[in-house]
């Protein structure tokens, strides 16, 4: 028996946490992209607010649709996404990459949609088949589903987004009942293949990975951004320097500060207190997502929640880790904080699906 739609079951905390994260992000984007010659309505912050407005609207639309019906759209969404990932490779280069498609005056990033499309298809597959009953070519379906967008995204190139698909696959395989020893074997094979795959990376990607081990090996080149990021975060101290008072930010020492390195702005201007608050907000969302996965008895809803929670966990942990120098710089936005319409909309759509599952999960 399934729950009827009742907004009394709407998880206000799960909805409020992304909004609070977004508010921290919007102040940081405004500070990071501020230009005295620019009117407020022309700022990136205003554009981000518009994207968030669309995202919130999608949340209230998606919760009205029984999440079990999403399985009917899984393969169509996946196929359209793959077509878009192929098409984007023929688009003009921007910032050295093919990542955006211009549609109706808006730049769409198909790689963001790819993460959700993969989760939908994997959830449908794992719902329909038991691990012990899958044989022959079907056992390779989950890996092919991930491999196709993975290599297309890598071709753009977008290493960070592509790598996000791997932990999503592993988490959903584990929940499905895939043997742990087989997962470990896959990890070992992946680690063994890493040196071979390294040779296929772009030169700037290789440099980013190498400076992770020693940022000072190229302090004015590949290591510059991470060095400036660590300086900014460290200089924020306990309470930060104050809104729009960060020297690394305002004096333009920090590159990519409104996108991948937005957390450096937060650390410098908001200090340890705001940084820990941001960590806590993400932790609440991710924990709630995994709890929803564990408490949802049907496999489709449980897998959906698991995949979405893993997606949010990986994105936030990798972005925060790379800005603090704990992980290599792979180019990954901080959900709801970094500037970018596609990321905001897909993240809010994912949050809407989590809310939907909790509101409608079957009662057995």
Provide DSSP, 311-357. Answer: HHHHHHHHHHHHHTTSS-----PPTTTSS-HHHHHHHHHHHHHHHHH
pLDDT value of position 99 = 76
Instruction: Write the burial class of residue 203 (CB in 10 Å: 0-12 exposed, 13-18 middle, 19+ buried).
Output: exposed
pLDDT value of position 17 = 96
Nearest to 301 by CA among 42, 70, 39: 70
Question: pLDDT means per 10 residues in the chain (364 residues)?
Answer: 66 94 94 78 87 94 91 95 91 72 76 95 93 79 94 85 92 89 83 71 68 68 81 90 86 84 93 95 96 93 96 95 87 90 94 92 63
Model confidence pTM above 0.95? no
pLDDT value of position 221 = 67
Nearest to 32 by CA among 316, 345, 330, 263: 263
For residue 265, give Cα distances in angstroms to 32, 211, 232, 244, 325. 7, 21, 7, 9, 15
How many Å apart are CA 149 and CA 79, to the nearest integer? 10
CA of residue 293 relative to chain centroid, distance: 18
pLDDT value of position 185 = 87
How many Å apart are CA 268 and CA 191, to the nearest integer? 35
**b/e map 331-357, b = 16+ CB within 10 Å:** bbbbbbbbbbbbbbbbbbbbbbbbbbb
pLDDT value of position 183 = 84
pLDDT value of position 259 = 87
State which H helix or E strand residue 101 sits in: strand 101-103
pLDDT value of position 97 = 67
């Amino acid at each position: 028996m399934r729950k009827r739609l009742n907004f009394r079951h709407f998880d206000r905390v799960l909805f409020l946490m992304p909004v609070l994260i977004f508010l921290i992000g919007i102040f940081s984007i405004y500070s990071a992209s501020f230009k005295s010659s620019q009117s407020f309505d022309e700022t990136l912050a205003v554009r981000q607010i518009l994207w968030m407005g669309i995202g919130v609207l999608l949340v209230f639309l998606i919760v009205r649709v029984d999440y079990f019906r999403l399985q009917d759209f899984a393969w169509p969404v996946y196929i359209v996404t793959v077509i878009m990932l192929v098409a984007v490779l023929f688009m003009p280069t921007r910032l050295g990459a093919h990542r955006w498609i211009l549609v109706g005056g808006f730049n769409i990033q198909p790689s963001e949609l790819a993460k959700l499309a993969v989760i939908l298809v994997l959830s449908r597959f794992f719902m329909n088949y038991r691990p012990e009953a899958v044989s022959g070519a079907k056992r390779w379906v989950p890996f092919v589903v991930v491999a196709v967008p993975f290599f297309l995204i890598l071709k753009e190139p977008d290493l960070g987004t592509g790598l996000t698909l791997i932990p999503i696959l592993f988490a959903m395989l584990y929940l499905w009942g895939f043997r742990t020893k087989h997962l470990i074997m896959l990890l070992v094979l992946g680690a063994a293949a890493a040196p071979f795959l390294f040779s296929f990376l772009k030169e700037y990607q290789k440099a980013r990975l190498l400076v992770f081990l020693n940022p000072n090996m190229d302090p004015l080149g590949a290591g510059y951004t991470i060095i400036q990021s660590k300086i900014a975060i460290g200089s924020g101290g306990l309470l930060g320097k104050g809104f729009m008072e960060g020297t690394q930010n305002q004096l333009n020492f920090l590159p990519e500060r409104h996108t991948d390195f937005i957390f450096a702005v937060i650390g410098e201007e908001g200090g340890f207190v705001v940084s820990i608050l941001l960590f806590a907000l993400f932790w609440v969302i991710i924990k709630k997502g995994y709890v929803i996965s564990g408490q949802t008895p049907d496999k489709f809803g449980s897998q959906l929640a698991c995949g979405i929670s893993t997606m949010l966990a990986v994105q936030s942990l990798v972005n925060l880790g790379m800005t603090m120098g704990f992980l290599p710089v792979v180019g990954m936005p901080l959900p709801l904080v970094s500037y970018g319409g596609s990321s905001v909309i897909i993240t809010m759509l994912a949050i809407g699906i989590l809310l939907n599952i909790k509101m409608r999960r079957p009662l057995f």
